[in-house]
Structure 1
Amino acid sequence: MTADLSTYTQPGAAPDRFRQVFRHYPAGVVVLTLDAGRGPAGFTATSLTSLSLDPPLVSFSVSETSSSWPHVRDSDTLVVNFLGAEQEALARRFATSGIDRFAEPTRWRRLPDGDPVLDDVPGWLRIRVKNVVPAGDHRIVIGRVEDSWLSPAPSPLVYHDGRYHSLQNSADGETP
């Protein structure tokens, strides 16, 4: 089989091609929530990655030009809220600029340490920021997991090709 190289782009390709390639790569959807002393803030992300089991580390990226970056920059802790299959509206809400993302209909509460966490998510991680690494027009945030919660048999929300999708569990409990 011969590959069609007519759409091949050399390294250093235009941002549009870079976006197009990653639109074809599915990613889990999370909402990161935090409070750096100015009230709760949060944003939708698909860049969450597990880095290490011992110690438990995760990373995510945030644009330096986003309204959330100053909050992330000034915060020591964050909550990674994993979104479930039925939470597309919540993902869209936290991806929308210029609104109070924590106003109704968002349901949330504070953990004992004061971090905001979303209600009805299938799982969350509370992380402490350990390192922030410059990376182009973004910052990569590395955090150590300090606390977590997971509901039984969550069905995740994923993002693929510019749209949200769900991975529903089948009747036998296995994800197809």
Structure 2
Amino acid sequence: MTVSAVSPGPPPGIAQDRFKQVFRRHPGGVVVVTVDAGRGPAGFTATSLTSVSLNPPLVSFAIAGTSSSWPHVEAARTAVVHFLDAGQEALARRFATHGADRFAAPTKWRPLATGEPLLDGVAGWLRLGIEQLVPAGDHHLVVARVVDAWVDTGRDPLLFHDGAYHPLRTRTDLGHALPHHA
């Protein structure tokens, strides 16, 4: 059996426009990640949250190396991921806006007893202990252990798809569950 030689260097990638086009068609749940590494609260909107492991409970998310929040995340030991509901597009946009004071009014928040910024009125949250920061192209992948969680199961999620925010409605406006079809 012969082994063929591997060419040196990484294989060529696809064009950035094509890469964006493909992922614009893939919907993502919208979260806001907040940290406080001792320099005041920082946070950003993300669609990259992924569950990684059940045992131990690990998640990951990505952040651009050019993000104003990156130095805060890099220095933080903990973070909070906030799950946004279908009616929180304004909050998602605020935390996605470069140069905005994201924690000024109308944002309502408070520090947890452990110091992390917690946004009021979200559909759920995870408090995380940051375990790894992995360079990944022009981003950094953050791997973190879930140490606490809260969820309001009666809320519908906010999604990002094709460059826009979209509510995912699982109930009627009357608050009744939609009929289940077998």
The answer to whether the superposition gives a TM-score over 0.5 is yes
**Aligned equivalent of 1:165:** 166
Q: Secondary structure at the match of 1:91?
A: helix
**Aligned equivalent of 1:107:** 108
Does residue 1:56 correspond to 2:57, yes or no?
yes
TM-score, normalised on structure 1?
0.91
Q: Secondary structure at the match of 2:68?
A: coil
Q: Secondary structure at the match of 2:142?
A: strand
CA offset digits 1:130-163 (Å, max 9, x no partner): 0111111111000000001111322000000001
Shift of 1:115: 0.6
Shift of 1:99: 1.4
Relative to structure 1, is the Cα distance of residues 173 and 75 closer, same or farther in structure 2, using a 3 angstrom cutoff? farther
Relative to structure 1, is the Cα distance of residues 135 and 111 closer, same or farther in structure 2, using a 3 angstrom cutoff? same
Relative to structure 1, is the Cα distance of residues 112 and 54 closer, same or farther in structure 2, using a 3 angstrom cutoff? same
CA offset digits 1:97-151 (Å, max 9, x no partner): 1111000000011111011010000100000000111111111000000001111
Q: What letter matches 1:59 in structure 2?
A: S
CA distance in 2, matches of 1:78, 1:175: 37
Shift of 1:47: 0.3
Q: Secondary structure at the match of 2:110?
A: strand
Q: What letter matches 1:18 in structure 2?
A: F
Q: Secondary structure at the match of 1:20?
A: helix
Aligned 1:53-92 pairs, distance under 5 A: 53-92=54-93
**Aligned equivalent of 2:128:** 127
Relative to structure 1, is the Cα distance of residues 15 and 125 closer, same or farther in structure 2, using a 3 angstrom cutoff? same
Extract structure 1 runs of 4+ deviating beyond 2 A. Answer: 173-176
Relative to structure 1, is the Cα distance of residues 25 and 131 closer, same or farther in structure 2, using a 3 angstrom cutoff? same
Q: What letter matches 1:172 in structure 2?
A: A
Q: Secondary structure at the match of 2:71?
A: helix
The alignment of Structure 1 onto Structure 2 pairs a total of residues equal to 167
**Aligned equivalent of 2:21:** 20
Shift of 1:173: 5.8
TM-score, normalised on structure 2?
0.88
CA distance in 1, matches of 2:156, 2:180: 8
Aligned 1:133-172 pairs, distance under 5 A: 133-170=134-171, 171-172=176-177
CA distance in 1, matches of 2:135, 2:51: 19
CA distance in 1, matches of 2:108, 2:147: 23
> What are the ranges of 5 or more consecutive residues in structure 1 without an aligned counterpart?
1-10
Q: Secondary structure at the match of 2:98?
A: coil
CA RMSD across the alignment: 1.7
CA distance in 1, matches of 2:64, 2:116: 22
CA distance in 1, matches of 2:160, 2:88: 12
Percent identity for Structure 1 against Structure 2? 61
> What are the ranges of 5 or more consecutive residues in structure 2 without an aligned counterpart?
1-11
